Amino acid sequence: MSRTPSIIGIILAAGTGSRMGRTKQLLPFRGQTILECVIDNAQASALDQIIVVLGFQADTLAQMIAGKNVTVVVNPLYESGQSSSLKTGLQAVTREADAVLFLLGDQPLVTPETINRILAEFERSPHSPVVLPLFAGKRGNPALFSRETFARIELLSGDYGARSLFTEYAGHILEVAVNDHSIHIDIDTEVDYRRLLESAESEKSDLQFKKEFFRVPPI
């Protein structure tokens, strides 16, 4: 009998929020902060461990999530771009891990069910190097990368995340259809945040928010 793959969640929360003008991870949402919502959703899923990568205002954020059962790592090079956070997160991953799921620290609407759908598909196809969720024919986040890709991620640079690997593994990417608009939604500006707050007022406003919001590419 084959064993269940060990998959680690890495939440990327090191950014400065330059477009927002303030630390978006600290913004209130649903009775807590955006980052806490992301952590809670990840912890409610089947992920084996949660690693949170901090950078900008790391001390403040680390204090805020001190009660969470997560591993906190700090990226001293966070200003150099998202690839440095990917690598910082990977450095905390154990040798037993078969894959990592990179989650964005400003996507509080991604549900545990969506995360579990991605994990389940990787379990069925454990040789897939990259697994991406798909909604309405478009890719989104979070994105799963198997151990096969770790050495390549370590060579990344700049603020383009792991998107450059999509070309390298183009013929081997597993796309997973999910019924979740939120894989395309993150919070970059004050307008985005206001829409997010409005979406929490009722199911109707939440649905409208998801339909009207722009789509973000995978990391």
More confident residue, 3 or 132: 132
Please say whether the dihedral angle defined by the alpha carbons of residues 191, 9, 73 and 127, taken in this order, is positive or negative.
Answer: negative
Q: Residue 203: pLDDT above 70?
A: no
| pLDDT, mean of residues 201-213 | 56
Rounded CA-CA distance 156/152 in Å is: 7
Question: What's the whole-model pTM score?
Answer: 0.89
CB 153 within 8 A of CB 87: yes
pLDDT tops 60 at residue 207: no
Residue range 120-142: average pLDDT? 96
* Residue closest to 133 by CA, chosen among 216, 13, 49, 50: 216
Name residues whose C-beta falls within 8 Å of residue 170's C-beta, 6 or more positions apart in sequence: none
pLDDT of residue 217: 64
> Which pLDDT tens digit goes with each residue over 159-181?
777 888 998 999 999 999 999 99
pLDDT of 33 over the 70 cut: yes
The residue that leads in pLDDT, 104 or 206, is: 104
Q: What's the pLDDT at 1?
A: 45
The four Cα atoms 200, 206, 208, 213 give a dihedral, to 10 degrees, of: 80
Please report which confidence band the pLDDT of residue 21 belongs to, taking 50, 70 and 90 as the band edges: confident
Nearest to 123 by CA among 150, 142, 98: 98
**What kind of architecture, by CATH, is found in domain 7-179?**
Alpha-Beta Complex (3.90)
Our CA angle for 78, 187, 168, nearest 5°, is 60
**Is the pLDDT confidence value at 17 over 90?**
no
Separation CA 76–CA 15 (nearest Å): 11
Domains in the chain: boundaries? 7-179
Please, which pLDDT band fits residue 213 given cuts at 50, 70 and 90? low
**Tens digit of each residue's pLDDT (9 = 90 or more) over 60-95:** 999 999 999 999 999 999 988 889 999 999 999 998
